[in-house]
Amino acid sequence: MTTTPENDSTSPPTAPADVAAVAAVAEVAEVLAPDAARAEKKVAKKTAAKTEGQRTEHAASEKIAAVIFNPTKVDLPLLRAAVAAAEKTAGWRETLWFETSKEDPGQKVAAEVLTHDVDVIMIAGGDGTVRAVVEGMRGSDVPVGLIPRGTGNLLARNLKLTLDSLDRAVSTAFAGKDRSIDLGMVEVEREDATKEKFVFLVMAGLGLDAQMIANTDPDLKQKVGWIAYVDAIRKSLRGNNSINIRYNLDRQGNHTVRVHTVMIGNCGSLPGNILLLPDAAVDDGVFDIVALRPEGFFGWVQIWVKIVWENGVLRRSQVGRKLMGMTSEVRTLRYLQGREFVMRLDRPEEFEVDGDSFGKVVAIKATVEHLGLTVKVPAK
């Protein structure tokens, strides 16, 4: 669904009586909803100030932005107020507005946006919305501005962008600088031999990780966020979770291993300050891969210590890194790096991309598109 600029140049001029009527309605609306009106004014003022603080171009511009937003994730009046303030301060033309839907989470609407020759695309939503929009605009050199409004916001988190400041996010989209990052591409084979391709920006995985996401109640996730995954983990740990896989990394030969989870990452950090892939970087041209291979309860304890304590605490200080050097690697985790990763499973398994479940697969081929996406980051 598309929404056009509010002041379309093809619309007839507004009569004085109409202007008075609009002003009267606005005054009534402000009386009826003073908190909302004050919030919109406040975010507009802050956004204008932060846009002015970041911008390097001060002349009037013919540039134009577009916003693709998930209507279930955003406060639209507040977002519109912030964008209007930023575009005015930056001297840009009026922004185009597009919304996603259940039927089109972002791919088709992104392709439509690109026909308008825009200079930046703001994506307002969670990681799923960001992934879908980027998939739809793959191959374009138009930069994206992230307006994080999801549960995890993992891409924004790994880029160290502000997660809870609408004015900062919007001003960065208009006046920030460009940063190029890698794109992950994954081709999956289904049980019926059909194949599909997906883009990912954060992680793709299968096994316990994907089962957890498939078992997560979307309504509960909407209400309580990441806590919803606790119940999903409980469900996923039932029964036999180990998988036999045959894999080939960078065409160096086939290997066989038994695992519970395999995750292919473009980014390393998870919510809660958990560093799952400590060597992952979004622009290094390689994947970081982790295979979890616990044997019973003690194996899960080893994984917890490695990921939460060593990666999350010790690695962040010089003394901690020295202590890590004295410890041996645990057999329950295996880290790999590469540009192409192919694996075939002994049975169909749940598969996830950037936190969304995409059904069961029997084979996966992941590749890196080095510096395939440009993201706006703060200029100062």
Q: What is the CATH number of the domain that holds 169?
A: 3.40.50.10330
Determine the number of helices (DSSP H) and then strands (DSSP E) in the chain: 12, 17
Q: Which amino acid is at 340?
A: E
Do 80 and 215 belong together in one domain? no
Q: What is the reported pTM? A: 0.81
Residue 167 resides in a domain: yes
Do 212 and 160 belong together in one domain? no
Residue 376 resides in a domain: no
Neighbours of 220 (CB within 10 A): 15
**pLDDT tens per residue across span 38-75:** 888 888 989 999 988 887 776 557 899 999 999 999 99
For residue 262, count CB atoms less than 10 angstroms from its CB and return exposed for 0-12, middle for 13-18, buried for 19 or more: buried
Do 134 and 275 belong together in one domain? no
Q: Which amino acid is at 241?
A: N
Do 108 and 221 belong together in one domain? no
Do 319 and 246 belong together in one domain? yes
Give the mean pLDDT of 343-347.
95
Do 145 and 195 belong together in one domain? no
Do 327 and 365 belong together in one domain? yes
Do 337 and 227 belong together in one domain? yes
Domain of residue 19 covers 2-175
Confidence of residue 107 (pLDDT cuts 50, 70, 90): very high
Q: Which of 10-14, 75-79, 184-188 has the lowest mean pLDDT?
A: 10-14
Do 192 and 169 belong together in one domain? no
Residue 333 resides in a domain: yes
Do 223 and 142 belong together in one domain? no
Residue 355 resides in a domain: yes
Is residue 320 over pLDDT 60?
A: no
Asked whether the beta carbons of 152 and 64 are under 8 A apart, the reply is no
Residue 224 resides in a domain: yes
